[in-house]
Structure 1
Amino acid sequence: MSGTLALSVNLNKVALLRNARTDNNPDLLDFADIALDAGAAGLTAHPRPDQRHIRASDILPLATKARERGVEFNMEGNPFCEALGDYPGFLELVRGAKPAQCTLVPDANNQLTSDHGFNLNKDGGKLEPIIAELKQLGCRVSLFMDPDLDQIGLAAGVGADRIELYTGPYALAFSQSSSAADAVFKQHCDAAEHAHSLGLGINAGHDLNLANLKQYCRLPKLAEVSIGHALTADALRMGFAGAVRAYADICAETGIDAVLTNG
């Protein structure tokens, strides 16, 4: 049975541009509509405590927009981030928005961008009750992970529905040589096959772009890619709708050859 690889457009960098001024230009909800009209299957937002791009106040309107358009809203963030100033804490935001998918990421408050997956030997015990709560809220739970087979085994054990493979090292290898990219891609394929054998769905994201996405879309059982930075940069040349269409076209060429029971 085949299915379509979903493109979820991350709006963080659109919000970063908006935050450079005091008005609401560009309007995130307008750009959410542009992305969905151009072929995106969902919307992603990663609110951080410093609110340097997506703000806490953006979350409920984006979740509402996704529900109105009949698509999934994916919230990314560190579940251990507590309230800071007018940031109410990541879990509090999730409780209010009830996104279709919650992607938990182990990034520190002062981190420039996500750059590693969870160490579940360290954090698994703390994550397990959080994952249980999120699933009670109706969220599918995905954990940001490196392609480490042992760690992926632990992800299944703490109750995750999916993993999101961190693709930064793959993107770096792709920029260096085809042989380097092939070696890292093989690690990710092995990780995806292992995750699938454990009943986990597979998402991916970070530094995927128009050059490297076509190869990565061949990853076994890949269900969703979340892309924001490169897509927004390409939009400076192609227009936002044109950039979304370019990424969506690559995803449309690829189908997943199994639909997992956990969605």
Structure 2
Amino acid sequence: MRALLVLQRRELLRDKRNFWFAFLFPFAILGMFLVIFGAVGSYADGTSATDQVIAMTLFMGVTSVAFLATASPLATVRRDGVLRLLSTTPVTRLEFLLTHMPVRLAVVVVQVLIILAIGAALGAVEVSQILPALGVSLLGLSMFGALGYLLGGVMPGPDSASNVGTFVQLAAFFLSGLVFPLEVFPDAVEVFLTYMPFTFFAELLSGVLMNVDTSHAWWLSAIVIVVTAIVISMIAARVFKWEE
């Protein structure tokens, strides 16, 4: 297991295109949105635009690692027959997947802490909010990470996994209520989006970082995310293709 962990770390760092883009993209988003929203200051309801930017950046950080640094590399090792070669060694498939996750988890933890540190430096994040925000981010990673493994296990190659993952990421981001309030959508669409799992995750981030009233209780949002993660994980395990 220790050797596999080292292998997974090297594999992730060697994939410079996906790793560095997944790691640095949220910080580019952070800088861009600080410029766009910086002049806003505070909204009419008293919430800070900078708080919103930090929440959006965390959302993008979690989903970037889940899709770009998980789905695409996994599709690559399947396409290249790496998993087929590993099947001829004492390494089991379960051991491979169990050691595949911690490296991504470590990346998200580092990424989230840096984002929150920047938020604290800007006066948008209080020390008491750091641990709850980290916990919510890891909760979101369980759901989006499971979806990343699902895409990585069925897509025929890294490009298709990356393209589909990016589409899902951006769709969830812009339809979650973090960027645009859900009230701007038609009533039927608003009701539909309110009960989507990614909206529950966005609400948890908003509740922790922006101190706003949310449509659902925090415990209900947490349950929905956990249940969704479990369901997607079960589907991913059932349909996962170990080789193309």
Name the TM-score class by shorter chain: under 0.3
Larger RCO, structure (CA 8 Å, separation 6 or more) = 2
Of Structure 1 and Structure 2, the greater strand share is in 1
Q: Which has the larger radius of gyration?
A: 2
Higher helix fraction (1 or 2): 2
The alignment's TM-score, normalised by the length of structure 2, stands at: 0.27
